[in-house]
């Protein structure tokens, strides 16, 4: 009778693989080190995975899934906030409340990246085509979502129409990608809320139509 995979063993192997990929990267990680860390045999490893590349891909998929879950929750909560507060650029107070709410949501996403910063670095350095395709597809989905949000602002007359929503989305997504890469080199956790506040202040004070100008950079920074 064939041996049945143990889900607890699978999770233990994935946890060990995550630690080894963080320590050595995809190329440097060895299956024997993964199994030793998990307290299991190489046979147990191959019962669950075809190789270390498959374990790495599964870990990246989980990370991207967690980020997309955060993005979906952010979208839902932002829609509820917009319905409660009204147009984001209506006045300085509404704009500031919206920015502070989005800071909290984006900080939660950066928390996920901080917790997985070494896996992010390993994925960034990996030459595995399946992983590269996963990251590219994720990047395209997130950029399309952000661009869609900007188009909705333009349709409501809240965002300057001389701006390209796709280019604006690339700026935002690129900023958070850069944050994810920078984290891998840090030993101490940075002020993630300050990072998100910087991006959102720059973006919204730059793209919104007046009367958002009433919320001057000096006034919002002081708050």
Q: Which of 49, 64, 88 is the last residue of a domain?
A: 49
On whether both 3 and 59 belong to a single domain, the answer is no
**Same domain as 182, residue 124:** yes
Residue whose tokens read 């997985």 = 116
To 5 degrees, how large is the angle CA 131–CA 107–CA 101?
130
Domain match, 13 and 78 both: no
Domain end: 49, 72, 88, which one? Answer: 49
- Sign of torsion, CA 153 154 155 157? positive
Query: Could you tell me if 31 and 66 lie in one domain?
Result: no
Number of domains in the chain: 2
pLDDT of residue 203: 86
Q: Report the DSSP beta bridge partners of residue 208.
A: 159
Retrieve residue 127's tokens.
Answer: 């030459």
Whether 75 and 89 share a structural domain: yes
Residues 13 and 106 occupy one common structural domain? no
Q: At 89, list the tokens.
A: 């650029």
Task: State whether 176 and 206 are in the same domain.
Answer: yes
Q: Show Cβ contacts of residue 78 under 8 Å, excluding neighbours closer than 6 positions.
A: 101, 102, 105, 149
Q: Are residues 70 and 137 in the same domain?
A: yes
Together in a domain, 40 and 150: no
Structure tokens at 189: 């956790």
Shared domain check, 115 and 70: yes
Same domain? For 43 and 69 the reply is no
- pLDDT tens for the chain, 223 residues long, are 445 556 789 999 999 999 999 889 888 999 999 999 999 999 999 999 999 999 999 999 999 999 999 988 888 888 888 788 776 655 677 778 888 888 999 999 999 999 999 888 888 777 666 788 888 899 999 999 999 989 988 998 888 899 999 999 999 999 999 999 899 889 899 999 999 999 988 888 888 776 544 444 444 443 3
DSSP state of 217: H
CB hemisphere CA count around 182 (13 angstroms): 13
What are the backbone angles phi and psi of residue 106, rounded to the nearest 5°? Answer: -70, -30
- H helices within the chain, ranges in order? 7-28, 31-38, 42-48, 52-85, 92-115, 117-125, 129-155, 165-183, 192-207, 217-222
Domain that holds residue 170: 53-222
The CATH code of the domain that includes 9 is: 1.10.10.60
Q: What's 217's domain CATH number?
A: 1.10.357.10
Q: Are residues 71 and 130 in the same domain?
A: yes
């Amino acid at each position: 009778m064939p041996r049945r995979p143990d889900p607890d063993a699978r999770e233990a192997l994935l946890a060990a693989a995550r630690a080894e990929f963080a320590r050595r990267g995809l190329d440097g990680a060895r299956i024997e080190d993964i199994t030793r860390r998990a307290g299991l045999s190489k046979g147990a490893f191959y019962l669950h995975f075809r190789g270390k590349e498959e374990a790495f891909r599964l870990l990246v998929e989980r990370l991207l899934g967690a980020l997309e879950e955060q993005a979906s929750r952010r979208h839902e909560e932002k829609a509820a906030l917009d319905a409660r507060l009204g147009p984001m650029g209506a006045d300085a107070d509404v704009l500031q409340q919206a920015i502070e709410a989005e800071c909290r949501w984006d900080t939660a996403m950066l928390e996920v990246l901080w917790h997985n910063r070494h896996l992010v670095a390993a994925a960034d350095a990996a030459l595995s085509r399946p992983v590269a395709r996963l990251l590219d597809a994720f990047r395209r989905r997130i950029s399309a979502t952000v661009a869609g949000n900007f188009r909705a602002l333009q349709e409501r007359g809240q965002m300057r129409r001389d701006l390209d929503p796709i280019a604006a989305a690339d700026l935002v997504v690129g900023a958070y990608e850069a944050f994810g890469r920078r984290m891998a080199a840090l030993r101490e956790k940075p002020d993630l809320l300050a990072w998100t506040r910087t991006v959102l202040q720059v973006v919204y004070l730059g793209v919104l139509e007046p009367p958002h100008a009433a919320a001057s950079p000096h006034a919002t920074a002081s708050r």
